[in-house]
Amino acid sequence: MEVGKGISESDVSRAIIEGFTKDLMEYTRTDVVIVGSGPAGLTAAKFIAETGVKTLIIERNIYAGGGFWQGGYLFPKTVVEAPAQEVLLDMGIEMEEVKPDLYVADSFKVVAKLLASVADSGAKLLNSTYVDDLIYKGGRIGGVLVNWFPITQMPKFITCMDPIALESKVVIDATGHEASMASRAAKVLGFEIKGHGHLNVEEAEREVVKNTKEIAPGLITCGMATASVFGTPRMGPIFGGMLLSGRKAAETALEILKSKAIAQER
Ligand code: 48F
125 Cα–ligand 1 center, Å: 14
Residue whose C-alpha is closest to residue 85's, from 67, 74, 75, 97: 97
CB atoms within 10 A of CB 201: 16
25 Cα–ligand 1 center, Å: 26
- Dihedral sign from CA coordinates of 205, 210, 214, 216: negative
Predicted TM-score of the model (pTM): 0.97
Kindly state if the Cβ of 196 falls inside 6 Å of ligand 1: no
Domain spans, the chain? 26-72+120-265
Instruction: Return the pLDDT at 155.
Output: 81
Please tell me the distance from the alpha carbon of residue 152 to that of residue 107, in angstroms, as a whole number: 29
Please tell me the distance from the alpha carbon of residue 133 to that of residue 144, in angstroms, as a whole number: 6
Q: CB under 8 Å to 225, separation ≥6 — which residues?
A: 36, 40, 173, 174, 175, 176, 177, 178, 179, 181, 182
For the chain, list residues with pLDDT below 70.
157-159
Which atom of ligand 1 is nearest to 41's Cα?
Answer: 6
34 Cα–ligand 1 center, Å: 11
Which CATH number describes the domain made up of 26-72+120-265?
3.50.50.60
What SS3 state is found at 112?
Answer: helix
Instruction: Return the pLDDT at 27.
Output: 98
pLDDT tens digit string along 227-265?
999 999 999 999 999 999 999 999 999 999 999 887 777
Instruction: Return the pLDDT at 158.
Output: 61
What SS3 state is found at 199?
Answer: strand
Instruction: Return the pLDDT at 159.
Output: 59
Kindly state if the Cβ of 60 falls inside 6 Å of ligand 1: yes
* Residue-wise burial string across 120-136, b where 16 or more C-beta atoms lie within 10 A, e elsewhere: ebbbbbbeebbbbbbbb
DSSP class of residue 149? H
Please tell me the distance from the alpha carbon of residue 117 to that of residue 57, in angstroms, as a whole number: 14
Q: CB under 8 Å to 137, separation ≥6 — which residues?
A: none
Kindly state if the Cβ of 41 falls inside 6 Å of ligand 1: yes
The closest residue, in CA terms, to atom 10 on ligand 1 is 67
